[in-house]
């Protein structure tokens, strides 16, 4: 059985962005810009201007839940 070949067309519209968030609450300015941009684009689709805030909250809760397992 042959492994499927990867197409180069996928890479033309996908971008991998690594985001580092410290558990103490500090966000790198590029991480902040990325989350704001995602929130802005989501707000354009949904019509809800609070999307950036919701996204920050969801990421913060996910980070806290992940950290609980390490305590």
Contact 45, 52 (CB under 8 A): no
Q: Which of 16, 12, 17 is nearest to 30 (CA)?
A: 17
Mean pLDDT of 53-68: 81
Confidence (pTM): 0.63
Q: What is the DSSP letter of 4?
A: P
4-15: per-residue pLDDT in tens?
Answer: 555 555 566 777
- Indicate if the pLDDT at residue 44 is higher than 80: yes
The most distant pair of C-alpha atoms in the chain lies apart, rounded to whole Å, by 49
Q: List all residues 6 or more positions away from 20 whose beta carbon is below 8 Å from its beta carbon.
A: 28, 31
- Indicate if the pLDDT at residue 1 is higher than 60: no
């Amino acid at each position: 059985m042959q492994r499927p070949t990867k197409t180069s067309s996928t890479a033309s519209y996908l971008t991998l962005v690594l985001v580092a968030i410290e558990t103490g609450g500090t966000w790198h300015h590029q991480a902040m810009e990325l989350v704001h941009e995602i929130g802005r684009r989501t707000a354009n689709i949904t019509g809800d201007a609070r999307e950036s805030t919701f996204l920050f909250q969801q990421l913060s809760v996910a980070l806290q839940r992940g950290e609980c397992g390490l305590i």
